[in-house]
Each structure stands twice: as structure tokens, then as C-alpha cells.
Amino acid sequence: TASASAKHTAASTRDCDTDIVKVMCDGYFPYPVPSGIEKASDWYALEPLGASHPFIRDQVWRAKRIVEELGGDRPVFYNVFAPFSSLRFGAGEERVMRDLREDKNAVMHALDVVAQDNALLAELLIREAGCDGVYYCVQGGEKDRFTAEESRAAVSPSDLYVLERANRFSGYNILH
């Protein structure tokens, strides 16, 4: 259970005497892409999950239990993936890259939607769960995937959206 996991995380942290705690988003790598997206233009139908969706609520609840178990002993950072990573974990990298080449704007719409949810997640992790910040994992700009220009055009806007939102609520976010 999440409560047992929180107790175990706190105990392990104290046993190892770590300076900070970085909580991995295990079980929440893939963004919950709805069925029915069969072609690139279908990405335009994607809408934000919102704060009450289990993908967001469950992570906030889990992080809050860990923060409570630690009792302020050390700073806690929760892993939030970049929208590009969340989307490719949810739909498959091959699919996302193919659709991006076919209809860049449709996939950028999807990235914007995921960015809204990931930004909301970051905010709630900080404000509600009590995390000191997020550990923001940026992926997607690797040279074998995009040129620098393609990455700046297609991937960076959604990354910047999440980072700017997280930075509103904490000055201690970590970029990885």
C-alpha cells in the first residue's frame, strides 16, 4: 500500500542518512492516453485530465504520505516527467515520433495538454503534498531524436510551461 511504502521510504531515508529525498513516480510513467487515438490528427481531441483524475490525485496522496512520515527531516522532491516523456511512455515512442512527423501541431496540442496536467501535478505536489519542489526529468532533446531546432520548436514549449508553473510554487525545483 502507499502508506506502507511511505513508512518504508521514511525508514530507509533515516537509515541511509540521506540529505534529501527524491521520490520516483513509480507506476505513473505513462500518461493515461485514452483509446481512440488512431491517427495523428486524433491528438487534437486530447483534453487535460484535471485535478480529480487518479493519475494526479494518487501521486499527490502518495507524496503527502511520504512527506508526513518524514516529518520535515529533510527536503522532499517528487519526480515529474517532461510532457514529451509522459506522452511517449503512454502512447509509445514510435507512435509519437511518427505522428509528430505527420502532424506536428496535433502532437504539440497533445504536449500542451500533458503540460497542463504535469504543471498541475507539480503545483499540487508542492502546495498540497508538502514537497519542497519537483525533480523535473527532461528528455526528448537527444541528438538522435531531434535537431536542436526541432527540439526547441516541438518539445521546449511544453517543458517551459511545466517549469514556469513549478517555479511559481517553489524556488527549489531540480532540473534533470
* 51-102 tens-digit pLDDT: 999 999 999 999 999 999 998 889 999 999 999 999 999 999 999 999 999 9
Walk across the sheet containing 133-137 and list its strands: 21-23, 76-81, 133-137, 174-175
Tell me how long the chain is.
Answer: 176
* 100-134 tens-digit pLDDT: 999 999 999 999 999 999 999 999 999 999 999 99
* 41-52 tens-digit pLDDT: 999 999 999 999
Q: In angstroms, rounded to a whole number, what is the distance separating the alpha carbons of residues 127 and 101?
A: 38
Output the pLDDT for position 1.
Answer: 62
**pTM of the predicted structure, to 2 decimals:** 0.94
Output the pLDDT for position 7.
Answer: 83
Cell numbers at residue 138, please? 527532461
Our CA angle for 95, 91, 107, nearest 5°, is 65
Radius of gyration of the CA atoms of the chain, in A: 17
